[in-house]
Each structure stands twice: as structure tokens, then as C-alpha cells.
């Protein structure tokens, strides 16, 4: 039997995502009520610009006083889509203290202060859900947190930023340079006027922290994630990748160590074989590849950003939280029982593609090979080309630690026959 008293929802933020959440709540009200077991009522909308016309939203619901809205006491669920650290953090903890559960799309806040927010939710026996914080519409957090709760996840490898994937895909398929591809992404609305958060990997790093924490039952903060942007990727890098049967993606990689005693989380560009499912993720789409002991290999694919896709994830959480409210229960909270240490990037073991500018004369290859051997880095393949006294030497290694590779490169730079290190890129997905 459906209860007649509606569940009241406060919406913090009414931009691209927030306005779409409000629209779906209104247009699909009957369906949402049937799925939840009670009507859902939009009880207030906190915004910064109250005079802006918001189609489909009763102006009487609009307020600039977000604090008063979450303190009302009759609010069942607060939906936070304003982003940033403050005032979002204070508003969320205030909501818990005044009886509301929270649905958030705030990746930066969850990555930085997820543990404290979960503790606040637990203190007041409330829910904190944030499916929309990672990969937009793609169901990912709930499968990791619930569907795979009985399994052991060893690796999460994914494309979690649509802007960077669009840029790299354009460079790969059209031969465009980085700036040209960025300009196209900006013109089409895929890139912000200031794309730094995307192209320098900050956005993906926040998502990696969240994914690693859930997958490995360990607290992983944003500061624990190694981050490297993609602004230095060139057309020459793509040419080298194609010669290896690879393409280049900006990847978020979360791994459990082989001995199970630690985890790593990192974001950086990497070559990935064309045979890997992630290699075929095009344009602004996202995809995440999960490897677990019992389930094996799973892939989650779909639009990772935008008003409608993100709102879909928000509404999915809203339905779940509202059901919990009716049942007098709460869903899964933070699971950090494993408390595994997060290893530094220097301990990460992977393959590398190194392109060197060298003198075109006898003995150069032997000198370079000796440096690799002295630092314990095994060479897989070497390709050399050149003329007129100058040459290019491309070395692909077997798996080696980041620290060992760093020492190798430092030593290579000291060789008189090495003019410079043109590029270094990791090779993943094998």
C-alpha cells in the first residue's frame, strides 16, 4: 500500500544537473511514487540567482538561503548538486543533523572528505549516496558497493572523463594536434572555458579516489592519487602507439598489489592495446573495466557527463534513499575495514614506451641498453631510425617499477650520445 504523506526533497543547486533533476521529478512523479511507495515532493530549491527564470519550477520554492532550507526539519532528502568543497560540506553535515539523508554528485568533496561525511551520516543514522559523482549515468558505485560486496576486486581501470576522451579520440582518428582537438571540444561544449580540471587529471583523480576506496574497502583520499595530465601528448605519441597496435587514453587505474598488502591509485595518459575493450571507447563516452576474483572481468560503459545522464544517477539514488526512509533503514555506508596502505607511485610496476633523440653513430644502442640493464629494467623491443647524424630510438620495456624507470631516464640524460628524451608513456591493459 502506498503511503499518502509525501517525502520532501530539498534541491541544492539548479544548474544543468539540478534543473534536470527537478524536471524529471515533476514529469515522472507518478512513476517515482509507484517505485518508492510514496509521493515525492520538491519542497525547496536553493540557488545563487533567484531572479533567473527556471522553467517548470514554482518560484515560491526558490530561495538563496540554503542553510535555512536544510535546517527546516521536515526535509527527508537533500540533493546536493552545487559542487565544490564549501558550502557543500557544511550544508551536507547540517542536513544530517536536522534529519535528512543526502544524495550528492560532488566528486571533489567525496574524494577529499568522504570519511568525515560518512561518519556524520552514521552518527545521525542517515544515508549518503553519490552514484552521480563518478561516470555520470553509468551504474558503477552501487555495483562495486553492493553487487560485488561478496567478491574481491583486484583492479579498476577506466576512462572517467569525457572531455579528455573526446580530445584524445580526435587526435587519434583525425591526426589533430592537442590544441586543435581542445578547440573542437570547447566549440562543441565538451570542454569548459577553463579545461584545467579535466586535461590535467584533477577530475579523474577525484573519481579514482572514490573508486579505489569502495573497491578495496580502504580510505583513499584525493592526495593519495598520483596525477598526470595529458597536455603533453602529441601526434608523434599517437604515431608510436599505432606502430605498437595501441591507442592513447587518459586512464584512472586503481590496483591491489600482487601480495594483497597495499593498493595504488593513479591517473595518467597511457598506451592501451587496440584489442582491449577500453581502446574502442570513443568521443565523450566513459567506460570502466573491473577485474575481480569470482566475477572475472566486467565492463561498464555509457555517457559520463551531461545534465540528463547525471540526473539519471541522482534520481536512482533518490529512489533508493526514499525507499530506505519508508522502511526505517539505511543503506550501505563506508566500508574501510581493510585499511590497506596506499603505495607511492614509485612502487607501481608497469611497462614503458620511451622515445629518445640520439646521435646516429655506432655504439649508441649498446650504451642505452647498458643503462637499462644497470637499473634492472628489462627491454622488450627496440626500434631505431635516423639520418644525417641524428636518430630516434624507441625502447619498450618489460614491466618495471616507476622508481627504477625514473633512475634509468636520469642516467640516460647524462649520456653524451642522448640528445634528449622525447617522450615517456606507460603501457597498460595487457
Rg (CA), the chain: 24
**How far apart (Å, rounded) are the C-alpha atoms in residues 149 and 135?**
20
**Eight-class DSSP state of 172:** H
- Strand partners of residue 346: none
Q: Is 242 a catalytic residue?
A: no
**How far apart (Å, rounded) are the C-alpha atoms in residues 164 and 285?**
10
Of the candidates 79, 135, 85, the one whose C-alpha atom is nearest the C-alpha of residue 110 is 85
Give the DSSP letter string of 237-285. Answer: HHHHHHHTTEEEEEEEEEEE-TTSS-EEEEEEEEEEETTSGGGG--TTE
For residue 405, give Cα distances in angstroms to 145, 230, 247, 267, 409: 35, 20, 22, 18, 6
Q: Residue 80 corresponds to which cell in the numbers above?
A: 546536493
**What are the DSSP E strand ranges found in 304-378?**
349-359
The length of the chain in residues reads: 430
**Eight-class DSSP state of 143:** I
Q: What is the largest CA-CA distance in the chain?
A: 86
Q: How many CA atoms lie within 13 A of 322 on its CB side?
A: 29
**Eight-class DSSP state of 151:** S
223: three-class secondary structure by DSSP: helix
**What are the DSSP E strand ranges found in 120-258?**
128-129, 153-159, 226-227, 246-256
Helix 162-174 vs helix 235-243: angle between axes, to the nearest 10 degrees? Answer: 70
**How far apart (Å, rounded) are the C-alpha atoms in residues 7 and 30?**
13
**How far apart (Å, rounded) are the C-alpha atoms in residues 114 and 127?**
13
Q: Output phi, psi for 368, to 5 deg.
A: -65, -45
Q: Residue 413 corresponds to which cell in the numbers above?
A: 640524460
Of the candidates 132, 29, 134, 34, the one whose C-alpha atom is nearest the C-alpha of residue 79 is 132
Active-site residue identified among 8, 107, 126, 207: 207
Residues with catalytic function: 207
Amino acid at each position: 500500500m502506498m503511503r499518502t504523506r509525501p517525502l520532501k526533497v530539498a534541491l541544492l543547486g539548479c544548474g544543468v544537473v539540478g534543473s534536470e533533476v527537478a524536471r524529471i521529478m515533476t514529469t515522472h512523479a507518478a512513476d517515482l511514487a509507484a517505485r518508492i511507495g510514496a509521493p515525492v515532493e520538491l519542497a525547496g530549491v536553493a540557488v545563487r540567482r533567484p531572479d533567473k527564470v527556471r522553467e517548470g519550477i514554482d518560484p515560491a520554492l526558490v530561495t538563496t538561503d540554503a542553510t535555512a532550507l536544510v535546517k527546516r526539519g521536515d526535509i527527508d532528502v537533500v540533493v546536493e548538486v552545487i559542487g565544490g568543497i564549501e558550502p557543500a560540506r557544511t550544508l551536507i553535515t547540517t542536513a544530517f543533523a536536522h534529519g535528512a539523508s543526502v544524495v550528492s554528485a560532488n566528486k571533489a568533496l567525496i574524494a577529499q572528505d568522504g570519511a568525515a561525511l560518512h561518519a556524520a551520516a552514521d552518527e545521525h543514522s542517515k544515508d549518503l549516496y553519490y552514484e552521480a559523482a563518478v561516470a555520470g549515468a553509468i551504474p558503477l558505485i552501487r555495483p562495486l558497493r553492493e553487487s560485488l560486496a561478496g567478491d574481491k576486486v583486484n583492479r579498476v581501470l577506466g576512462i572517467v572523463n569525457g572531455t579528455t576522451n573526446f580530445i584524445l579520440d580526435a587526435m587519434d582518428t583525425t591526426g589533430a594536434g592537442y590544441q586543435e582537438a581542445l578547440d573542437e571540444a570547447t566549440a562543441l561544449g565538451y570542454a569548459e572555458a577553463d579545461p584545467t580540471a579535466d586535461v590535467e587529471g584533477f577530475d579523474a583523480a577525484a573519481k579514482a579516489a572514490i573508486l579505489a576506496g569502495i573497491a578495496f574497502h580502504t580510505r583513499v583520499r584525493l592526495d593519495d592519487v598520483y596525477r598526470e595530465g595529458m597536455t603533453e601528448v602529441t601526434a608523434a605519441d599517437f604515431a608510436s602507439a599505432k606502430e605498437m597496435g595501441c591507442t592513447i587514453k587518459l586512464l584512472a587505474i586503481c590496483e591491489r598489489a600482487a601480495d594483497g598488502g597495499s593498493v595504488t591509485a593513479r591517473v595518467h595518459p597511457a598506451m592501451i592495446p587496440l584489442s582491449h575493450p577500453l581502446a574502442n571507447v570513443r568521443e565523450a563516452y566513459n567506460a570502466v573495466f573491473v577485474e575481480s576474483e569470482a566475477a572475472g572481468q566486467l565492463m561498464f560503459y555509457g555517457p559520463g557527463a551531461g545534465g540528463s545522464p547525471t540526473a539519471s544517477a541522482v534520481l536512482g539514488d533518490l529512489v533508493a534513499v526514499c525507499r530506505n526512509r519508508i522502511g526505517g533503514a539505511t543503506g550501505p555506508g563506508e566500508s574501510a575495514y581493510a585499511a590497506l596502505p596506499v603505495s607511492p607511485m614509485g612502487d607501481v610496476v608497469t611497462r614503458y614506451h620511451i622515445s629518445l633523440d640520439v646521435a646516429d653513430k655506432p655504439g649508441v644502442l649498446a650504451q642505452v641498453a647498458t643503462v637499462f640493464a644497470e637499473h634492472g629494467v628489462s627491454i622488450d623491443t627496440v626500434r631505431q631510425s635516423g639520418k644525417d647524424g641524428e636518430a630516434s630510438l624507441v625502447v619498450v620495456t618489460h614491466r618495471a617499477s616507476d622508481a627504477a624507470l625514473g633512475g634509468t631516464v636520469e642516467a640516460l640524460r647524462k649520456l653524451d650520445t642522448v640528445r634528449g628524451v622525447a617522450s615517456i608513456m606507460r603501457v597498460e591493459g595487457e
